């Protein structure tokens, strides 16, 4: 396969200072984030500087030039805060401290500064729905027992039943089992229950309590003062619960998630919180942003999070959940753009993250949701993944990449049970459960595990990497024009050279054969066409323009000749191409 048909003149290889200025100025007036490509780093699995098998901040720092050269605009870091790691850091014990496993606050400071010098912005994860059960507030609430004011900051309630032996309501944890755990009173007798929508080690805050809101405003300022460019807000749809915490009355709660408004998700009250936060973000120079991880029933409800006085972006999980199917893709693209237009926010696009099966594996299997346990047809999956990524990067708005997708990494579907750490794996009835498969450390170089993830060949990595990953390392793929890494580098370089690729809010659909998508993007700087063949057969179309980039070789082309009809192109099965017109 060749994707680099045209010389995209790798402008990212220019002197760092030139790039810095270019990035700093790009889109400054409209908002740098509107068409930004944002790369998610999962700190545990990116780069391990000290050889303990766990990724860390100095490791990330040492790899920033790689991200600059890849051509992304910003980096979102999953949590690196002090945490017992019951949910891989999404259980925060101290929001203002770095876990020693990842480094120190000084490392965080150095990382932010280095990133800025390279022209990369930094977005950190904020987890406001719940803390860790090791958080000082929760520990004190337990120790002090009933009546402690600290209890008001969480949801402590007496149980139902004669002796309070039943949970206060019928809500279930997203990770499986009841959403309530009973406490023990300081005198050893059974006590109240507390709410946790996720693991028992993640007690939900009570956002009705002003101390909680105050604390998070202060945490925002702490990191803004450190220089971060924004926050990815974890479970942004969860903080406000319906008054009285009413029963749901359903025993198939997980099936309802995503189709109905639940008494604990997407309650209208959350928007007041974001209005307050927006005012804080706007106090700081340099366009600091908030990005909502909001799972809502429809993209239209997602748009509520990005009204002009709320957050800047929200993940488009409807897009992430769409299979490789031309009709469904066209529909979700239209719905996404139509939903965001009235609120003036850019659409976002995402194919992979740390919670779902990597798209190279999803697309290797028949359609079946975002938690897939079989490797499927690897070659098919990779072909479609490459095509899907080029499609995503041709859409107007902002795109999120997840570390390793630029290497075409598959999910690791055969991790032995003993090495798994995902808490939902151990609470069988829950959703997710197999998220460790997308969290395996990145292969950078060399022939022996951990493939440059850690400093020593043969050294540890917190999850084992498959032997086949030696062939997928950054080192192996760099400079190989057929590699997925070079496809991403070329795509991001073209996108940077032709801002029309990410700008605007419109696509113009052109007629095209069944199983394909062809759209045109117009801007003052020029136009281009994106062709997608999502079918399993090659498809012949009229040549739309001059080829810029393709995820696979076109099967054949003919140039228009004197007196002949228009030129034609045969699009390879499962391929996307960009054309200058
Ligand atoms: C978000 C995170 C996920 C975590 C959950 C609970 O969905 O992305 O990794 O398990 O929140 O914090
Ligand atoms: Ca380490």
Helices (H), 284-435: 299-303, 317-320, 326-340, 359-362, 378-392
Residue 426 has a pLDDT of 84
Burial of 467 (0-12, 13-18, 19+ CB in 10 A): exposed
Neighbouring CB atoms inside 10 A of 332's CB total 19
C-alpha 371/C-alpha 406 separation (Å) is: 20
Catalytic residues: 234, 283
Query: Binning pLDDT at 50, 70 and 90, where does residue 431 land?
Result: low
Residue to probe by mutation, ligand 1, list 40, 90, 254, most atoms within 8 Å of CB: 90
Residue-wise pLDDT for 336-393, tens only, equals 999 999 999 999 999 999 999 999 999 999 999 999 999 999 999 999 999 999 999 9
- The verdict on the CB of residue 90 being under 6 Å from ligand 1 is yes
Instruction: Report pLDDT for 559.
Output: 63
Residue 8 DSSP label: -
Neighbours of 580 (CB within 10 A): 16
Q: Provide the pLDDT for residue 424.
A: 86
Q: How far apart (Å, rounded) are the C-alpha atoms in residues 301 and 322?
A: 18
Which ligand is closest in space to the CA of residue 88?
Answer: 1
Write down the pLDDT at residue 30. Answer: 80
Mean pLDDT of 110-131: 98
Could you tell me the pTM of the whole model? 0.94
Q: Which atom of ligand 1 is nearest to the CA of 129?
A: 12
Cα 103 to ligand 2 centroid, rounded to whole Å = 8
Is the pLDDT reported for residue 191 higher than 60?
yes
How far is ligand 2, taken at its centre, from the CA of residue 460, in Å? 10
CB neighbours of residue 485 within 10 Å: 21
Residue 562 confidence class, pLDDT cut points 50, 70, 90: low
Nearest residue to 514 (alpha-carbon basis) of 445, 571, 434, 468: 571
pLDDT digits (tens, 9 = 90+) for 296-337: 888 889 999 999 999 999 999 999 999 999 999 999 999 999
Q: Regarding predicted confidence, which is higher, 16 or 267?
A: 267
Q: Write the pLDDT tens digit of every residue in 445-461.
A: 999 999 999 999 999 99
Is 340 in contact with 303 (CB distance < 8 Å)? Answer: yes
Per residue in 223-274, pLDDT tens?
Answer: 999 999 999 999 999 999 999 999 998 767 766 666 677 899 999 999 999 9
Task: State residue 22's pLDDT score.
Answer: 37
Q: Are strands 230-233 and 190-195 parallel, antiparallel or unpaired?
A: unpaired
The predicted model gives 120-124 an average pLDDT of: 98
If one residue of 197, 198, 317 were mutated to test the ligand 1 pocket, choosing by the most ligand atoms within 8 A of its CB, it would be: 198
Mean pLDDT of the region 23-37? 71
pLDDT at 10 over 70: no
* Cα 370 to ligand 1 centre (Å): 14
Cα dihedral value 226, 230, 232, 238, nearest 10: 90
Does the pLDDT of residue 485 top 60, yes or no?
yes
Q: Is the pLDDT of residue 192 over 60?
A: yes
What is the per-residue pLDDT for 26?
Answer: 42
3-state secondary structure (DSSP) of residue 88: coil
* Amino acid 260: pLDDT: 74
What is the pLDDT at residue 8?
A: 33
Mean pLDDT of 182-195: 96
Residue 15 clears pLDDT 60, i.e. is over it: no
Residues 6+ apart with CB under 8 A from 244: none
| Residue entry with tokens 């459960």 | 433
Is residue 235 lining ligand 1, measured as CB closer than 6 Å?
yes
Q: Cα-Cα-Cα-Cα dihedral of 536, 539, 544, 545, to 10°?
A: 80
Cβ neighbours of residue 485 under 8 Å, at least 6 residues apart?
406, 407, 408, 474, 477, 478
Indicate the angle between helix axes 378-392 and 484-497, nearest 10 degrees.
Answer: 10
pLDDT for the residue numbered 45: 98
Q: Is the CB of 198 under 6 A from ligand 1?
A: yes
Phi-psi domain of 31 (left: phi exceeds 0; alpha: psi -120 through 50; beta: other): left
Taking the CA of residue 435 as reference, the ligand 1 atom at the shortest distance is: 9
Output the CA angle 130-134-138, nearest 5 degrees: 65
| Amino acid 320: pLDDT | 96
For residue 50, the CA-to-ligand 2 centroid distance in Å is 5
Backbone angles phi, psi at 316, to 5 degrees: -100, 85
Find, among 213, 210, 199, 179, the residue nearest to 84 by Cα.
Answer: 199
Distance CA 416, CA 418 (A): 5
pLDDT digits (tens, 9 = 90+) for 501-542: 888 889 999 999 999 999 999 877 788 999 999 999 999 999
Q: Which residue has the tokens 């959350």?
A: 270
Is residue 384 a contact partner of residue 339, using CB atoms and an 8 Å limit? no
Distance between CA 558 and CA 37 in Å, rounded? 34
**Using 50, 70 and 90 to split pLDDT, how confident is the model at 31?**
very high
* Res. 492: pLDDT tops 90: yes
Grade residue 433 by pLDDT with cuts at 50, 70 and 90: confident
At 52-72, the pLDDT tens digits run 999 999 999 999 999 999 999
The string of DSSP codes covering 486-515 is HHHHHHHHHHHH-GGGT-SS--EEE---TT
In a mutational test of the pocket of ligand 1, which residue from 234, 291, 421 has the highest number of ligand atoms less than 8 Å from its CB? 234
Determine the average pLDDT of the residues in 179-187. Answer: 96
- Residue 126's Cβ-side half-sphere holds a number of Cα atoms within 13 Å equal to 27
> What does the buried/exposed string (b/e) look like for 360-370 if buried means 16 or more CB atoms within 10 Å of the residue's CB?
bbbbbbeeeeb
- 3-class SS of residue 569: strand
pLDDT of residue 195: 98
Q: What is the four-CA torsion angle of 254, 204, 349, 495, rounded to 10 degrees?
A: -160
CB 185 within 8 A of CB 141: no
CA of 90 relative to ligand 1 center, distance in Å: 6
Residue 21: predicted pLDDT: 37
Element housing 349 (H / E): strand 348-350
């Amino acid at each position: 396969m060749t994707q680099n048909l045209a010389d995209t003149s790798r402008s990212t290889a220019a002197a760092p200072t030139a790039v810095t200025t270019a990035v700093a100025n790009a889109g400054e007036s409209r908002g740098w984030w509107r068409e930004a490509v944002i790369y998610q780093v999962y700190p545990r699995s990116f780069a391990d500087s000290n050889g303990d098998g766990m990724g860390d901040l100095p490791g990330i720092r040492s790899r920033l030039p790689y991200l600059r050269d890849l051509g992304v605009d910003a980096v979102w870091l999953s949590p690196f805060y002090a945490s017992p790691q019951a949910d891989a850091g999404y259980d925060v014990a101290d929001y203002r401290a770095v876990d020693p496993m990842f480094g120190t606050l000084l490392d965080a400071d150095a990382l932010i500064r280095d990133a800025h010098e390279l022209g990369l912005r930094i977005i950190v994860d904020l987890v406001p729905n719940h803390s860790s059960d090791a958080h000082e507030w929760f520990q004190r609430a337990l120790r002090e027992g009933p009546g402690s004011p600290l209890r008001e900051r969480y949801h402590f309630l007496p149980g139902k039943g004669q002796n309070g032996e039943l949970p206060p309501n019928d809500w279930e944890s997203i990770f499986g089992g009841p959403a309530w755990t009973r406490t023990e009173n300081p005198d050893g007798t059974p006590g109240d229950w507390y709410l946790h929508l996720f693991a028992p080690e993640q007690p939900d805050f009570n956002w009705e309590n002003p101390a909680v809101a105050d604390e998070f405003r202060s945490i925002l300022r702490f990191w803004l003062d450190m220089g971060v460019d924004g926050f990815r807000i974890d479970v942004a749809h969860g903080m406000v619960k319906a008054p009285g915490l009413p029963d749901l009355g359903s025993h198939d709660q997980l099936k309802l998630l995503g189709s109905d408004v639940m008494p604990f998700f997407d309650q209208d009250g959350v928007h007041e919180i974001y209005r307050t936060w927006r005012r804080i973000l706007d106090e700081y120079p340099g366009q600091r942003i908030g990005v909502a991880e909001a799972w809502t029933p429809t993209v239209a409800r997602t748009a509520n999070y990005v009204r002009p006085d709320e957050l800047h972006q929200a993940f488009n999980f409807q897009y992430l959940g769409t299979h490789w199917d031309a009709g469904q893709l066209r529909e979700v693209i239209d719905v996404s753009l139509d939903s965001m237009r009235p609120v003036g926010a850019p659409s976002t696009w995402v194919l992979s993250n740390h919670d779902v099966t990597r798209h190279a594996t999803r697309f290797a299997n028949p359609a079946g949701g975002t938690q897939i346990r079989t490797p499927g047809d690897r070659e098919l999956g990779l072909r479609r993944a490459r095509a899907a990524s080029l499609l995503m990067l041709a859409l107007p708005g902002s795109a999120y990449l997840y570390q390793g997708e630029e290497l075409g990494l598959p999910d690791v579907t055969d991790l032995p049970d003993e090495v798994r750490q995902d808490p939902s794996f151990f609470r069988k009835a829950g959703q997710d459960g197999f998220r460790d498969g997308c969290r395996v450390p990145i292969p950078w170089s060399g022939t022996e595990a951990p493939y440059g993830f850690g400093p020593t060949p043969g050294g540890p990595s917190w999850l084992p990497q498959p032997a086949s990953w030696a062939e997928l390392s950054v080192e192996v793929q760099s400079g190989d024009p057929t590699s997925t890494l070079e496809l991403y580098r070329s795509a991001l370089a073209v996108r940077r050279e032709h801002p029309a690729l990410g700008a605007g809010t419109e696509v113009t659909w052109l007629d095209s054969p069944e199983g394909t998508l062809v759209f045109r993007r117009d801007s003052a700087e020029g136009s281009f066409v994106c062709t997608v063949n999502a079918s399993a057969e090659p498809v012949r179309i009229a040549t739309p323009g001059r080829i810029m980039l393709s995820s696979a070789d076109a099967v054949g082309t003919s140039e228009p000749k004197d007196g002949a009809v228009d030129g034609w192109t045969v699009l390879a099965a499962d391929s996307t191409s960009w054309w200058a017109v």
